[in-house]
Structure 1
Amino acid sequence: MASVIRAKARFLPLGGGWSLLHALSLGLVLFCLWLLLSGFFVTLLLSLGVVSVAFVVWIAHRMDVIDHEGHPTHLTIRALLYWPWLIVEIIKANINVAGAIVRRRMSVNPSVIEVKATQETELGQVIYANSITLTPGTVTIDIDKDIIIVHALTLKAAEDLESGDMDRRVTALEAHPPAEELPPPLPPGGQTK
């Protein structure tokens, strides 16, 4: 009986780098996704959705797979400003690549370039690398410390990356929250006591 009580008590404080904010925001995101995908607003199905989401959040907590880097709630507001800019960049790059393909004179000039990544965290570098790959005409090949190796389809795509605008925006996106907002680091082995 004592082991059952300890197991229940372990979930209540949300240890292991979790906070109540992480659990609630993950639950909210999952439930909104569930609503979008199901499209049903019947009481029984809504109840089953809530139960499913609660179960998934509990499993994620037990597996300790969500932390401040895997579920970066501190980026939410800044991400809402970054995404529209990225969508516009994706549209502009689509037009550029389509124009390069449609023109009789192919202006495709493939090249491999190195761009400097000024992000301080691995999460910031991954966001930058994924933003590069999401933009048509560019693909991230490798990340090596603070250098990202990119294949660019056109000269314009390479020039846009070398201008550093996307790098500056991702660096601003990842600006660190105050230390009191970050969860304490996990002890060796990743288990809390």
Structure 2
Amino acid sequence: MTRLPAALTADRNGRRATALKLLPLLAAFWLVISGHYTPLLLTLGASSVVLVVWVIWRMQIVDDESLPLRLVPRLPRYLLWLGGQVALSALTVLRLVWSPRSGIRPAVGTVAAADLPDLSKVVYANSITLTPGTLSVSFRDDDIEVHAIQREGIADLRDGAMRARVEGLGTD
């Protein structure tokens, strides 16, 4: 019988541990979504969760980079904050569009993202795009190019409140 090198064994064990961390997360998700708590359906739900985790582990698609479980505890707070920002921005865009005096002054600018980890850059760029009135266009020289419906949108991003929240997620 051939033995696997230590690095491969450690990688395999790391993937297994990450896949096993999915069990309670998927089980809780299934319980919330299903809303049925009869013994038969609980058994079928548990079986499906175990099957999904086994398939994910066998396909070797789960690792700490593709599934950053360390974000889960801080994610609800960030998503609540982001939801509030989306609502405020939506009201601002609505006011701009419906105002008889057009205050729309589109602008393109860059926002610094050079020292952020890759995952943080992705979360930051997606958060910018999700916020009405702003759009992440591309990455340029480790900066995010942003199109905004108003110049103030880029200035607000440069103030750094969103970046600080993304850094608070601890994606490094």
TM-score interval, smaller chain: 0.7 to 0.9
1:93 match:
89
Structure 1 residue 135: Cα displacement: 1.0
Closer, same or farther: CA 118–17 of 1 in aligned 2, 3 Å: farther
Q: Would the aligned equivalents of 1:109 and 1:155 in 2 still touch at CA under 8 Å?
A: yes
* Matching residue of 1:41: 37
- Of 47, 52, 63 in structure 2, the residue corresponding to residue 67 of structure 1 is 63
Return 5+ residue gaps in structure 1 as ranges.
7-12, 177-193
How far the C-alpha of 1:154 sits from its partner, in A, is: 2.1
* Kept after mapping to 2: 8 A contact 1:113/1:158: yes
Aligned to 2:137: 141
Q: Structure 1 residues 29 and 129, CA, compared in 2 at 3 Å: closer, same or farther?
A: same
Alpha-carbon distance in 1 for matches of 2:31, 2:121: 32
Q: What is the distance in 2 between the residues matched to 1:130 and 1:143?
A: 12
Gaps of 5+ in 2: 4-9
**Distance across 2 between alignment mates of 1:62 and 1:33:** 22
Q: Partner of 2:169 in structure 1? A: 173
Superposed CA offset, 1:155-189 (max 9, x none) = 3322211212211221232264xxxxxxxxxxxxx
135, 160, 163: which is aligned to 1:164? 160
Deviation readout 1:126-176 (Å, 9 max, x if unpaired): 111111111111111112452111111223322211212211221232264
Q: Report the 3-state secondary structure (helix = DSSP H, G, I; strand = E; otherwise coil) of the residue aligned with 1:114.
A: strand
Moved more, 40-49 or 117-126: 117-126
Structure 1 residue 83 displacement after superposition: 2.3
Mapped contact 2:138–2:144 kept (Cα < 8 A): yes
The 1:151–1:17 alpha-carbon spacing in structure 2 relative to 1, beyond 3 Å, is farther
Q: Secondary structure of the residue that 2:124 maps to in structure 1?
A: helix
TM-score, L = length of structure 1: 0.74
Q: Is the 8 A contact 2:111 2:158 kept in 1?
A: yes
Q: Cα distance 1:172–1:37, how it changes in 2: closer, same or farther (>3 A)?
A: closer
SS in 1 for 2:36: coil
In structure 2, what is the equivalent of residue 180 of structure 1? none
Conserved in 2, the CA contact under 8 Å of 1:139 and 1:150?
yes
What is the distance in 2 between the residues matched to 1:136 and 1:78? 23
Residue matched to 2:25: 29
Q: Distance in 2 between the 1:143 and 1:78 partners? A: 26
Question: Quick one: structure 1 residues 36 and 78, their matched pair in 2 at CA, closer, same or farther if it must change by over 3 Å?
Answer: closer
Residues 107, 149 of structure 2: 8 Å contact kept: yes
CA contact (8 A) 1:26 1:57 kept: yes
The ranges of structure 1 where at least 4 consecutive aligned residues each deviate by more than 6 angstroms after the TM superposition are none
How big is the shift at 1:87? Answer: 1.8
